[in-house]
Chains A and B, each alone.
Chain A
Amino acid sequence: MDSKGFSWYHFAAPQRFYRLAGIAVPWIGALAALLIAGGLVIGLLIAPTDHQQGDAYRIIFVHVPAAWMSMVIFVAMAFWAAIGLAFNTRLAHMIANALVPTGALMTFIALWTGALWGKPTWGTWWVWDARLTSELILLFLYVGVLSLHAAIEDPRRADRAAGVLALVGVVNVPIIYFSVKWWNTLHQGASISLAKAPSMATPMLLGMLVMALGFWAFCIAVSLARVRIVMLERERHTAWARQAIGAAT
């Protein structure tokens, strides 16, 4: 490797990635805690009551960030799976693998808070409309990727199988996103769009954006923490990993 030129392979060396991620996790985690605390203050204390939905609308401050992350993480997982499949890099597969539980939990939060929001505003916990159904399918896809990976003993075979499922499943993400446009759904349209000015009051919008950034940071921090564990679990026959296990536990 050229020692002067910048190279991504530099960071793909497991030990180096492990160390850098270890430095990043507490900082990104602290950022997540600050942003989420700020988002809670804005969303629960400062933002005014909605004139139509009353205070039930405050569910938006967890529902929308979680729903965004559920889709973003699936795309990220499929991206790293594609890199792993194309270049046969184990680190890429490990990153994809580490994203799955966080994505599944974000999907669960989106569905759960959606049900609790649907009851007072729509009069029902659940409807089989395009948005809700496609988001439920996303949860099944996450669970499918997770179980497929767990069911195959050889990690490299498991990586490839789960990676293919992630790549196939990623077509569901645009379906979720555009479902409110393509079909008549009970679910409302996008809260934020780049094409037009937001239709929300400023503190509401601000609270939602701060919470969304907090959820981003949270997801990055826990995924990096998990990929470090996955690395040690899978590289533990190597000297550096054994040493790291001794230092870290």
Chain B
Amino acid sequence: MNWSSFSEFAAMGGYGLYVWGSFGVTAVVMLGEMMSLRARRKALRTLEDDPPDRVDYREGAA
């Protein structure tokens, strides 16, 4: 263990803002990505049944 107290750990030798700013934003981005995936999955139900996938894209077909 590198630290003798929690306040020492939180201060990060005076670099707390930079260290926690890095780790914090990384955590927010990763958790946010997981939450947005969950929301996108939930939204599947509300999509219409017929995606534009079925458009015939062969030449001359359109």
Residue B59 lies at the interface, judged by CB distance under 8 Å to chain A: no
**With contacts A56-B15, A248-B44 known, is A237 near B30, CB below 8 A?**
no
Residue A19 lies at the interface, judged by CB distance under 8 Å to chain B: no
Query: Which range contains the number of A residues in contact with the other chain?
Result: 35 or more
Instruction: Flag if A157 contacts B45 (CB, 8 Å).
Output: no
Residues of the B chain whose Cβ atoms lie less than 8 Å from the Cβ of A46:
1-2
Residues of the A chain whose Cβ atoms lie less than 8 Å from the Cβ of B21:
116
CB of B59 to closest CB in A, whole Å: 12
CB of A26 to closest CB in B, whole Å: 12
Residue A96 lies at the interface, judged by CB distance under 8 Å to chain B: no
Residue A83 lies at the interface, judged by CB distance under 8 Å to chain B: no
Residues of the B chain whose Cβ atoms lie less than 8 Å from the Cβ of A45:
1-3, 9
CB of B25 to closest CB in A, whole Å: 6
CB of A44 to closest CB in B, whole Å: 8
Instruction: Flag if B33 contacts A222 (CB, 8 Å).
Output: yes
Residues of the B chain whose Cβ atoms lie less than 8 Å from the Cβ of A209:
none
Instruction: Flag if B37 contacts A229 (CB, 8 Å).
Output: yes
Residues of the A chain whose Cβ atoms lie less than 8 Å from the Cβ of B55:
154
In angstroms, Cα B51 to Cα A150, docked, is 14
Q: How many A-B residue pairs have CB under 8 A?
A: 110
- Stretch from A47-55, A132-140, A173-181, A188-196 at the B interface: A47-55
Instruction: Flag if B44 contacts A237 (CB, 8 Å).
Output: no
In chain B, positions 21-53 with a C-beta closer than 8 Å to chain A are 21-23, 25-26, 29-30, 33-34, 37, 40-42, 44-45, 47, 49-53
Task: Determine which of B13, B15, B22, B40 lies in contact with A112 in the assembled complex, contact meaning CB atoms within 8 Å.
Answer: B22
Instruction: Flag if A62 contacts B23 (CB, 8 Å).
Output: yes
Closest partner residue, chain A, to B50 (CB atom): A237
Instruction: Flag if B37 contacts A237 (CB, 8 Å).
Output: no
Closest partner residue, chain B, to A110 (CB atom): B26
Pairs of residues from A and B, 7 with the lowest C-beta to C-beta distance, nearest first: A55-B13, A56-B15, A113-B22, A55-B12, A54-B13, A59-B22, A116-B18
* Interface set of B (CB-CB < 8 Å, partner A): 1-3, 9, 12-15, 17-19, 21-23, 25-26, 29-30, 33-34, 37, 40-42, 44-45, 47, 49-55, 57
Residue contacts A-B, CB under 8 angstroms, 23 given:
A45-B3, A54-B13, A55-B12, A56-B13, A56-B18, A56-B19, A58-B15, A59-B18, A105-B29, A105-B30, A116-B17, A116-B19, A117-B18, A153-B52, A154-B55, A154-B57, A156-B53, A156-B57, A229-B44, A237-B51, A237-B54, A248-B41, A249-B41
